[in-house]
A and B are shown apart, each in its own frame.
Chain A
Amino acid sequence: MDTFRDKLVPVTSILLGVVVLWYIFAVILNAPFQRDLDRRANETHGTVEFIGKTLSQPKPTLPAPHQVAVNFFENTFLRPITSNRSLVYNAWVTLSSTLLGFAFGTALGIIIAVGIVHVATLDRSLMPWIIASQTIPILAVAPMIIVVLAAIGVTGLIPKAMISTYLSFFPVTVGMVKGLRSPEIMHLDLMHTYNASASQTFWKLRVPASVPFLFTSMKVAVAASLVGAIVGELPTGAVAGIGAKLLAGAYYSQSIDIWSALVAGSVVAALLVMVVGIAGRLVDRAMGGRPA
């Protein structure tokens, strides 16, 4: 735990610095509008009062941290979960398509990786395209996938999940190809001396060797699939979800709502990555891995 204590002080102080800077910028950015308001109302304030007012505007340019925190708290804990203003409800909508897309993406990634490792033709012909597929700004296709699928009557969870699938299969494929190829020649030779069949080599050597790679790439994939789900909610004017909250906030200039939706998205992302990390550690321990 020594490293943890080593990090704790610097991380907290930098976070504190960010919060202080945030307050300063909030005052600076909100000041022009507040001055404008005061001039129209023919009011004059002392400096302290003026700063207090800049930090409590209803639609500030940059909301102060405490405004975001209050909004986040209200929309998370004080509203009934079924209300469509509740962040829990919106986060759940996004989370469900994230998880569906992540599951598809991971399965697809593993299947492609197994194919690439075992079929030389696929390795030579498919691998370059998989890498090329990620240089394409695929999120740009998101609106079209959703509108086109809606035209043939597929709506709701599946189109959003498809975007998440596309974004999350790539890290899994690359990680799994690396992982399935990670056993050394020595180990493969040993399996050979045991007269192991190809499937035995696969299940008893390659798969266990690839598990750490799988979980590392799944951490990247789950974050990517959350981004996919959020962007998938933008173009259709979806009624619920974190992306829909962002869009509604942008339309009505509800900057505090945007920020608290962002915070909600970040919390979900952090939780997802953490869950995958814990699952990885549990699997590692169940397989007899020792802490390095």
Chain B
Amino acid sequence: MNWLKPSWQAVLAILLCLVALALGAMSKPEAAALADPAASFDYPYFGIKTPMIGLAVLAGLISMLRISSLAEAVVLFVGAHLVAWMLISGIAGFEGTALAPYFLLLAAAWLLAWRCVAVLSGLRPMAKGVRMALRLIIPAIFGAWILIIWEAVTRGAGIPFILLPPPSAIGARIASSLPVLGADVRQTIFKAVIFGYVVGSGAGFLVAIAADRVPFLRRGLLPIGNMVSALPIIGVAPIMVMWFGFDWPSKAAVVIIMTFFPMLVNTVAGLAASGHMERDLMRTYASGYWPTLLKLRLPAAAPFIFNALKINSTLALIGAIVAEFFGTPVVGMGFRISTEVGRMNIDMVWAEIAVAALAGSVFYGVVALIERAVTFWHPSVRGG
């Protein structure tokens, strides 16, 4: 058996395929057609059912041959995704009629994809570019399969649109309502979030410098700042709406309050991060408070400051969106979410969430990129 290296995922996938084949009909129309051969029913997977199952079995079998890991990964990748694509495109027009073999085949394809990811994460390539690509591909396959299973299950089982629309419908909704989404993003992110984020983080930073200059202030502010970070600050949203009105300034005010304390606490911690030796060295250079701050302690504090900026990027979005639940003009992401939920336009809500997720990830990613550029000397950046 030297030419065979079994893996439990592939074996299980082949078994599932065989069970699916043995159970017969993939969908209710097909079962009806089988029960009554005389009548002509239109049913999904006409003629491609056996090739589809065969493809999954074949991919599983080839993957267990003693071939190179890369070839194995490619075979599994192609097999799993081709089967998934055939499954999903085949069910079109027959939503909600899927029977057990449909889900067994889906599970088999998923197991093949899992095996593919396992093989890929076992690779130890030499080239740096390839390693980088692998670091992206592995989570990408995982994410793609969440979408594939979501799509296949919602359509196969016919889950009501109101409960959970399939990703393809959400995508179509995003494409068809770009102007509305664009206006919401402009209102919530470009007005409230960015302004609040800059002012809140900036104020936190300045107060931290002041606290660093005055030890009395630091000893008093730090415990308070630590305590406030555990409080549900989001609750000030209704008060801010009362003070600053329905438009974006009230949202920006919530964002300012939410981002202030993380920045304060982290910057104060960061300013204490430089070592005694380095500070003594600066003293021997006869460097005063401000040159030491600018040339030694702020660079040393940069990882802490960027940590706060990353935390704040998420908090700012949350603050602005939740503040919109308390009252807005008729535009904005939080407004759209709460009204479309009321009108049961769940696909629009998901579209808004997808946009918010994208905006949040981009925001975070930009801060992380700036961090890599600024703190290039830090071990965590140099090592990766």
Measuring CB to CB, which residues of chain A are less than 8 angstroms from any residue of chain B?
6-7, 10-11, 13-15, 29, 61-62, 120-121, 123-129, 132, 134-141, 143-144, 147-148, 151-152, 219, 223, 226-227, 230-231, 234-235, 242-243, 246-247, 249-250, 253, 255, 258-259, 261-262, 265-266, 269-270, 273
Contacts and interface: CB of A to CB of B under 8 A. Distances in A.
A162 to B, nearest CB: 14
Nearest to B116: A121
A130 to B, nearest CB: 10
Nearest to B363: A135
Contact of A265 (B231, B238, B338): B231
Given A10-B217, A148-B162, A246-B238, A140 B232 contact: no
A13 B141 CA distance: 56
A29 B121 CA distance: 61
Nearest to B118: A121
B197 interface: no
Q: Is the interface of B mostly helix, strand, loop or mixed?
A: helix
Nearest to B226: A273
A70 B300 CA distance: 47
Nearest to A121: B118
A10 B353 CA distance: 44
B321 A139 contact: yes
Q: Which 5 A-B pairs have the closest CB atoms?
A: A10-B220, A250-B238, A125-B142, A14-B220, A137-B317
Given A10-B220, A141-B353, A265-B232, A136 B360 contact: yes
Contact of B236 (A6, A15, A29, A262): A262
A10 B138 CA distance: 52
B314 A137 contact: yes
A178 to B, nearest CB: 14
Interface of B: 114, 117-118, 120-122, 135, 138-139, 141-143, 162-164, 216-217, 219-221, 223-224, 227, 229-232, 234-239, 241-243, 313-314, 317-318, 321-322, 325-327, 333-334, 337-338, 341-342, 346, 349-350, 352-353, 356-357, 360-361, 363-364
A226 B231 CA distance: 9
A277 to B, nearest CB: 11
B69 to A, nearest CB: 14
A63 to B, nearest CB: 10
Contact of B234 (A132, A231, A249): A231
Given A10-B216, A135-B361, A223-B230, A250 B327 contact: yes
A249 B318 CA distance: 21
Contacts of B352: 140
Contacts of A259: 239
Nearest to A267: B231
Nearest to A249: B238
Contacts of B142: 125-126, 129
Contacts of A261: 235
Contact of A121 (B117, B327, B363): B117
A137 B360 contact: yes
